[in-house]
Amino acid sequence: MAEEKLRLHHIEIEGFRGVNRALRLDFGDRGSLICAPNGQGKTSVLGAIEWCLFGELAYQMKENTTNDEVVNMHHPTGESVVRLTLRRESEEFVIERTRRVGRRETTLRVTTTQGEVVEGSDADSFLFRLLGLTFDDFYRASFLHQESVRGLLVDEPRVRNEALDRLFGLDKLRDILASIQIRPVTEAIDDIRGKQTRVYDKLSGASQQLEVQRHRHLQEALAVGLSERNLTLDAGRALAREALQGISDFSARNGMAAPEISDPETVDELERVARRVKDAIRESRLNAANQSTVSAASGRLVDVEAMQGTLQGAATVAALAAAAVERHIQASGSDEELRQRKAELASKREEVRRAIGAQEMTTRLLGDAMSLVREDPGMKSCPVCNQEVVASTLFDLLETRMSGVQRTEHERLIFDLERATNGLDSLGRVEKERSSLREASARAQSEYERIVQDAQRTLPGLPVGSEASDFLQAEVNAARIELEQIKAAYLNREQELDAVDQAVDRLRALQKVVKDDEDSAGLEAKVSAQSQDGEENVLSEELNRLASLQESLEAIARAVQGVARIRAHEAIDSSRATTAEYYRLLCNHPYFDRLRIDAQEKMLAGIAKNSYVIRVFSSSDGKATLASSRLSTAQMNCVALSIYLGLSSVLTHNLGFVILDDPSQNLDTSHKASLAGVLSGLLSGLQVIVSTQDLELEGFLKERFGKDQVTTYRLAWTAKEGTSASAA
């Protein structure tokens, strides 16, 4: 009985979406038209009904987490208030919902005829009982939204299926189904299986490698003298103690601090001890090197030997120089002898010179006499002594004398003079040589003395002379002995450290084998745990967990889809006849005059989903076709309207009104007339509220509803004032 259902009486809106200032619309008992061009607030007014009843807007994109798009942005207090009055016979229910901008929650209050006020969650429950349907069902029972129609008009099957799901009230199930994604689970399972295989392979490979490694380490251990029987942790600890004792003893003997190393307990600690002892050995060697006197002693020996060599060289040079002087004296005579010979030669040369002078005087006299005789050949007496002479005889005598004795004598005297002169020159050269040798000897001696003085600064007790050599030899011997002693001490320490070092090497060799054994045992445990049938390892656990998750998700998806399928079939079956009838009336197709919807399951990404096939038939010859492939957009719009109206007529709920938001999109004149006829047919049982921007539809509706049966409002909108309404 239509009278027993709830009808819209009036609505008061303020600050809601496009409506800013308070707006009141009184709905007629039969039909109400809300007419305005696009963007004047028709959808806001219809949305206010939806929001007031359910606190949500189905097709509204959320602006932010607090849905501030619900509140008009120019409202002075930033508050939306919608008050909707529903009537059922004598009962009246005032539903008031408010919310402030920036707040998530809305405030709901329901006031009954008796003045009872119900608020909060009680009001939600009260409202659910009062309306008798859910928010989702509201869209298929009472509110044909533009979006519901639009989805049916597109070619894309997925979108059409979604739109039909919405019309059938299955959009939530569909959304849940779409959100249950199994592929990431299967991919993760594949990934972990791959990991498991790779890990197992890696462990097997490592195990084999470890065997080879152990064999090598065993050979190394045997090579350092270890016995295979003793390659145990206890034997390692004994070796470690030996090494620790060795380095401690060495440190004590050499005045060094012993390293503080605790006894090892585990295999890894064996290596720690080995490393620490090695460090201590290195440190000991560095200390020994830093403190060693080997280089000092060695340097001293080198210095003394060098000094010895230098001194010996200088002495030899001085001795050779002195010997050269001595040899010269022996060869050329002493200085006295040289002086004597020089004096003799000088005297001789002087004597010869005088004889030559006398001879030259005689020669001049003889020459004068000969000249005189030659001038006076008849000369009878000497003009000097008056002695009687024969001129020719005298001349011959003079000439004989001149060319004979006188000449011979002269030559002899000249020879003697030259010999004396040469002798003197020779003596001069000898004297020069001696002087030079004496100077060289003096320089060598001076150098030797300087070297001795230098050496005495290093070796104060160094004597001068032949004793210096012995002294230096003694020094060299002492330095050699000292160096040998230091070297012996150093070698001794090195041998001690080498012994400890070798103990550590044995410890390390043993540790490697024992460690290999330990690793091998651990690896074997891991290998067996990671084997494909291993039950206890983490990878298998995670695989099982994911497989269980996959199984659960698949079961849930099947259950959800099962519910969706049943609901779709129920909706289709229950509305089949009325939908077909509305299609016939609305579409008025000259050939395809019947409509049928079939639902089937289709696998999408591994999940079964409802897929709808809308077919139209020709009752004349039974031919059928897919509606979307043969019908025009306007005819498809009629299909959508038929499905909606068919569904809304069979659903059970307490609402006695239907709301259609701009239903004439894409319809031509004849379809609009048909729609107006169909809607007028609903008036007998339902209150019909239609918003439209279509003047043609408005005309048809007024005509079919009857002017006194319809309340018409015209809306206008400004940015600041929002939507205003005037009764037309």
Partner 1 sequence: MSIHQIVADALADAHTDQSTRDLWSEIHRTFEDGGPDAVKQLVRSKVRESERRAEREAKAVRSVAVAVAKPKAKRAAKTKRVAKAE
- Amino acid 525 reads A
How far is Cα 651 from Cα 131, in angstroms, rounded to an integer? Answer: 12
487 near partner 1 (CB under 8 A): yes
Sign of CA dihedral 325, 326, 327, 331: positive
Helix axes 405-458, 466-530, angle to 10 degrees: 50
Kindly state the smallest distance separating residue 190's Cβ from partner 1, in Å. 11
- 195 is an interface residue for partner 1 by CB under 8 A: yes
CB-count burial class (<10 Å; 0-12, 13-18, 19+) for 235: middle
* Residue of 37, 205, 309, 706 that binds partner 1 (CB under 8 A): 205
Q: Which of 38, 179, 386, 620 binds partner 1 (CB under 8 A)?
A: 179
The interface region with partner 1, picked from 110-118, 354-362, 543-551, 675-683 by CB under 8 A, is 543-551
Record the tokens describing residue 554, joined without a space: 């698949």
519-536 residues labelled b (16+ CB within 10 A) or e (exposed): bbeebeebbebbeeebee
CA distance 275 to 697: 97
CA nearest neighbour of 540 among 532, 548, 528: 532
Does residue 300 touch partner 1 according to CB under 8 A?
no
**Which letter does DSSP use for residue 276 in this model?**
H
Q: In what order do the strands lie in the sheet with 79-88?
A: 23-26, 7-14, 79-88, 91-100, 107-111, 117-119
568 binds partner 1 (CB under 8 A): no
Contacting partner 1 within 211-230 (CB under 8 A): 213
Pick between residue 412 and residue 558 the one whose CB is nearest to partner 1.
558
Segment interacting with partner 1, rule: CB under 8 A, options 84-92, 244-252, 282-290, 434-442: 282-290
Given the complex with partner 1, which of 188 and 355 has the nearer CB atom?
188
Task: Give the up-direction half-sphere exposure of residue 302: CA atoms within 13 A in the CB hemisphere.
Answer: 6
Residue 490 CA to residue 287 CA, distance in Å, equals 12
* Sole window of 171-179, 367-375, 383-391, 401-409 interacting with partner 1 (rule: CB under 8 A): 171-179
Query: Per-residue x/- mask for partner 1, residues 648 to 687, rule CB under 8 A?
Result: ----------------------------------------
Binds partner 1 (CB under 8 A): choice among 7, 300, 349, 526: 526
Q: Quick one: which of 494, 517, 581, 703 contacts partner 1 (CB under 8 A)?
A: 494
Instruction: Find the shortest distance in angstroms from Cβ 128 to partner 1.
Output: 11
537 touches partner 1 (CB under 8 A): yes
Q: In the complex, what is the shortest distance from the CB of residue 329 to partner 1, in angstroms, rounded to a whole number?
A: 50
Site string for partner 1, 438-477 (x = CB under 8 A): ----------------------------------------
Rg of the chain over all Cα atoms, to the nearest angstrom = 71
State the minimum distance, in angstroms, from the CB of residue 206 to partner 1.
Answer: 4
User: Which 3 state secondary structure label does DSSP give 626?
Assistant: strand
Cα 124 to its chain centre, rounded Å, is 57
Q: Is 130 exposed, middle or buried (0-12, 13-18, 19+ CB in 10 A)?
A: buried
Are 236 and 514 in contact by the 8 Å Cβ rule? The answer is: yes
Residue 689 bridge partners (DSSP): 32, 659
Give the CA-trace dihedral at 711, 716, 721, 725, to 10 degrees.
Answer: -10
Q: Measured between alpha carbons, how far is residue 229 from residues 232, 269, 324 in Å?
A: 8, 21, 85
Q: Is 305 a binder of partner 1 (CB under 8 A)?
A: no
Q: Does 580 bind partner 1 (CB under 8 A)?
A: no
Distance CA 120, CA 98 (A): 11
Can residue 485 be called a binding residue for partner 1 (CB under 8 A)? Answer: no
DSSP 685: T
Q: Residue 41 carries which side chain, given as an amino acid letter? A: G
The residue range among 251-259, 333-341, 557-565, 589-597 that interacts with partner 1, by the rule CB under 8 A, is 557-565
* Nearest distance from C-beta of residue 192 to partner 1, angstroms: 5
Q: Does 548 bind partner 1 (CB under 8 A)?
A: yes
Please give the size of the binding site for partner 1, defined by CB under 8 A: 65
- Residue 296 CB, shortest distance to partner 1, in Å, is 13
Least spacing, CB of residue 180 vs partner 1, in Å: 7
* Number of other residues whose CB lies within 10 A of the CB of residue 14: 21
Give the binding range for partner 1 (CB under 8 A) out of 18-26, 141-149, 159-167, 523-531.
523-531
Question: By C-beta, is 558 or 584 nearer to partner 1?
Answer: 558
Q: Which amino acid is at 602?
A: K
Q: Residue 447 corresponds to which amino acid?
A: E
CB 143, min distance to partner 1, A: 20
Binding part of the chain for partner 1, among 175-183, 259-267, 697-705, 719-727 by CB under 8 A, reads: 175-183
Strand residue runs (E) in 639-709: 657-661, 687-692
Evaluate whether 169 touches 604 at the Cβ level (below 8 Å). Answer: no
Query: Could you give the CA distance from residue 488 to residue 468 in angstroms, rounded to a whole number?
Result: 30
Binding piece for partner 1, criterion CB under 8 A, among 206-214, 468-476, 609-617, 666-674: 206-214
> Which of residues 268, 551, 570, 573 is near partner 1 by CB under 8 A?
551
- Minimum distance, C-beta of residue 193 to partner 1, in the bound complex (Å): 10
Distance CA 641, CA 606 (A): 33
Pairing of strands 710-718, 31-35: parallel
Q: Binding partner 1 by CB under 8 A: which of 178, 366, 391, 430?
A: 178
Name the pairing type of β-strands 607-617 and 657-661.
unpaired
The least CB distance from residue 500 to partner 1, in Å, is: 12
The one among 79, 433, 542, 581 contacting partner 1 by CB under 8 A:
542
Here the tokens at position 621 are 């010859």
Site membership for partner 1, residue 181 (CB under 8 A): yes
**Which stretches of the chain bind partner 1, using CB under 8 A?**
172-173, 175-176, 178-181, 184-185, 188, 191-192, 195-196, 198-199, 202-203, 205-206, 209-210, 213, 278, 281-282, 285-286, 288-289, 292, 294, 487-488, 490-491, 494, 516, 519-520, 522-523, 526, 530, 537-539, 541-543, 545-546, 548-549, 551-553, 555-556, 558-560, 562-563
